[in-house]
Amino acid sequence: MEKLEKIEMRNIVPIAAMISAGKSKLLNVILNVNFLESKSGIGTKFVNILRYNPKIEQPQFYHLKLKAEKGKYIFYKDNEYKIIQGEKNIIEENIAINKELADKKKINYDDIFYITEINSIGFLKDPNYMLTHDLCDIPGLSEYQEQKNDSKPENKEIENQANENLEEMLKKGEEFGLVYKPKEEKTEEFMKNINKEEDDIFYDMNIDEESTYITEIYKRIKDHIDGAIIVLSIENYNFTQNIEIIAKLHKIIEKKLKNFLIILNKIDLSTNQQLDIESCKGILFNAFPRFKTFNLNMNTFIPISAIQVQNELLLEKKFFSFNLLLFL
């Protein structure tokens, strides 16, 4: 007989991104931890709920079981799973789980949920918020391609298509600044579609028969979502998969996408940061011209480099410690 214990449910703030966008690295920086596996390519293969618990002496990690009850998913602590304690042991367990799941051809989505309890909130300033909200690290959502059949398009084709679209947009030169502003001119096509409840991309997607990371994970957490962080990368923000992820999120969770944090990560890799920032905004505005499925103006856009942020925070911490030592 299964030994299950219902856990306290808090609001969930998921981190949504394509693979290699740097989301696990970003979470490591935000929480000032080092036990979230982050590497190039496919890293995280399981759902990791990150919970602040000031009552514990050291971080702990354990498995969750999900049960569908009356149309909603209930989260239980799996008491048959050994609680892993300490950063070193958690790192080793994360690596082992990712390796095990990477070798599996079929995923049991109810069985890939884990929770990491931490006893400090790093550089975050609001402990009260973290007592009511859990951050949630989720597999790179572009991995849904791996769940499809062999007829899937190759990543290179998607990249080429996105790059062609970006190049065409950039050719507008001085007019580029107008790309991400709503057009005042009411064209015939605009007036015909103005009463649509969503943007075209929303209607073009059929997820009813889709069983993938993005659909299955968000079906299980959608009732608890309160905001989200969408991480784009300077290396692939122009990929159409990013737009598909945003549209699918809206379709799955059935809530207006507002008060989200949109992060353009790895900005340090850009050779023209301002151009990339405007280009990224332009792509988001162009993808949702009716501002129905997603409206960037209702969310917060921030370009950052997780590595640079980490270095600055560490420098600040070490500088404070150095000054403290001088005056002792």
CATH number at residue 44: 3.40.50.300
pLDDT, position 164? 54
Quote the pTM value.
Answer: 0.77
pLDDT at 317 over 80: no
Give the pLDDT confidence score for residue 90 in this predicted structure.
Answer: 93
- Cα end-to-end distance, the chain, whole Å: 58
Owner of token pair 């009850």: 69
Q: What pLDDT digit, counting tens, does each position of 124-147 carry?
A: 778 899 999 999 998 876 554 444
**Lowest mean pLDDT across 164-173, 211-220, 238-247, 261-270:** 164-173
Number of domains in the chain: 1
Do 171 and 50 contact (CB within 8 A), yes or no? no
Range of the domain at 37: 4-326
Highest averaged pLDDT of the listed ranges 26-35, 50-59, 237-246: 50-59
- 8 Å CB contact between 47 and 138: yes
How far apart CA 85 and CA 119 sit, in angstroms, is: 12
In angstroms, rounded to a whole number, what is the distance separating the alpha carbons of residues 239 and 233? 10
Q: How much helix, strand and coil, in percent to the nearest 5, is found in the chain?
A: 45, 20, 40
Least Cα distance to 18 among 284, 201, 265 occurs for 265
Q: Quick: pLDDT tens for 248-287.
A: 999 999 888 988 999 999 999 999 999 999 999 999 999 9
- What pLDDT digit, counting tens, does each position of 139-195 carry? 876 554 444 433 344 455 545 555 555 555 444 433 434 334 444 454 555 555 556
In whole angstroms, what is the distance from residue 278 CA to residue 206 CA?
30
Q: Please work out, in degrees rounded to the nearest 5, the angle formed at the alpha carbon of residue 136 by the alpha carbons of 230 and 23.
A: 45
